[in-house]
Amino acid sequence: MKVGIVGLGLIGGSLGLALRSHGHTVLGVSRQSHTCRRAIDRGAVDDASLDHSLMHATDVVFLCTPLAVMQATVVELVPHLAAETVLTDVGSVKGWVVETIAPLWANFVGGHPMAGTAESGIEAALPDLFTHAPYVLTPTETTPARAVQLVEALVQPLQTQIYHCHPDDHDRAVAWISHLPVMTSASLIAACIGEANPTVLELAHALASSGFRDTSRVGGGNPELGVMMARYNQAALTRSLHAYRNTLDQVITHIEHSDWRSLEALLKQTQQARSDFL
Ligand code: NAP
């Protein structure tokens, strides 16, 4: 197929590398000419341009820009697309994206590959980023079946695991497993650095090891991405944060009241439940 990618960063570049290795022709559009040149040099695209007209003869276009510019990008892009071209996106939030983009292009299906790294930009792109990763598609009642089939025909051979769900269910689920962990991990770091005693803080810096590395990892990532999660998934994230705060209050109560039996019951429950997620 002839595939278009708009936004040649970590996700767009990785998709290009993977799709080209499966024999597809990949054309890219990005914001900076330097990125376009690097995408060609790295083999992520057959050709790239700053001009959306390069997308005119594509079968499927993947929108891989940051969430904040997706709507404006689609407005610029659609005059260049053939009516039968399928448009999909890779945004980490689906309710807002589907509500905003579906009215602009009938052949649209929302998507979200659940893979990433702490890096960004074309240099960070990896050919096997999506291997064995979940790939969520969020068709609605108005999404043409052909749009879903074409996107699946491209991403399934990359050894992704495809899931279909409603955009709002997607957003509630990723609030729990992706967006809430970023906020709680960031809050953990923020609370630690609030330690008023400099000797204790210095000692904590020196002693931090694997436990702190694991629990602080997602809170020490790209601030822009964290703000995007909160901004575009505000309702679901707020709901999860309130539920998390209630659970934290329960833990505090158990500890303050030396209620070790209740604390142990909770920790036993979480020890068992963790394996259902991973
Ligand atoms: P990224 O590495 O920063 O790449 C985004 C690219 O978009 C940049 O390289 C930039 O290209 C380009 N861009 C920015 N504004 C543009 C515009 N107006 N027109 C065309 N291109 C533009 O970010 P990313 O991590 O790939 O994220 C891209 C999308 O994937 C986001 O919507 C995000 O929600 C989603 N996502 C991210 C992850 C993750 O873990 N990172 C995982 C799943 C989904 P230039 O270099 O040319 O400026």
Structural domains of the chain ordered from first start? 2-165 (3.40.50.720), 169-277 (1.10.3660.10)
As given in the structure block, the two tokens for residue 49 are 């341009």
22-45 pLDDT, tens digit per residue, is: 999 999 999 999 999 999 999 999
Rounded Cα distance, 185 and 10, in Å: 23
pLDDT tens digit string along 96-125?
Answer: 999 999 999 999 999 999 998 878 999 999
Q: How far is the CA of 62 from the centre of ligand 1 (A)?
A: 11
Establish whether residue 174 lines the binding site of ligand 1, counting it when its CB lies within 6 angstroms of any ligand atom.
Answer: no
Task: State the pTM of this model.
Answer: 0.93
For residue 278, what pLDDT is reported? 87
Scan for tokens 């983009």, then name that residue.
Answer: 101
Q: For the ranges 24-38, 122-136, 179-193, 210-224, which has the lowest average pLDDT? A: 210-224
Q: Does the Cβ of 91 fall within 6 Å of ligand 1? A: yes
CA of 265 relative to ligand 1 center, distance in Å: 43
**pLDDT score recorded for residue 117:** 86
User: Closest Cα to atom 42, ligand 1: which residue?
Assistant: 116
Asked if the model's pLDDT at residue 200 lies above 90, the reply is yes
Would you call 6 helix, strand, or coil by DSSP?
Answer: strand
Residues 6+ apart with CB under 8 A from 260: 254
In angstroms, what is the span from residue 66 Cα to ligand 1's centroid?
4
Q: With CA atoms as reference, report the closest residue to 96 among 237, 234, 226.
A: 234
- Burial status of residue 120 (CB atoms within 10 A of its CB: 0-12, 13-18, 19 or more): middle
Q: Is the CB of 222 under 6 A from ligand 1?
A: no
Pinpoint the alpha helices (H) of 94-209: 95-101, 145-155, 167-174, 180-192, 198-207
CA of 194 to the centre of ligand 1 (A): 33
Q: Give the residue among 64, 72, 16, 68 at the shortest CA–CA distance from 41.
A: 16
pLDDT digit string, tens, across residues 247-277: 999 999 999 999 999 999 999 999 999 999 9
For residue 206, report the distance from its CA to the centre of ligand 1, in Å.
35
Is any atom of ligand 1 closer than 6 Å to the C-beta of 10? yes
16 lines ligand 1 (CB under 6 A): no
* The ligand 1 atom nearest the CA atom of 122: 9
Q: How confident is the model at residue 204 (pLDDT cuts 50, 70, 90)?
A: very high
Q: pLDDT, tens digit, for every residue of 68-87?
A: 999 999 999 999 999 999 99
- pLDDT of 118: 78
Kindly give the distance from the C-alpha atom of residue 38 to the centroid of ligand 1, in angstroms, as a whole number.
15
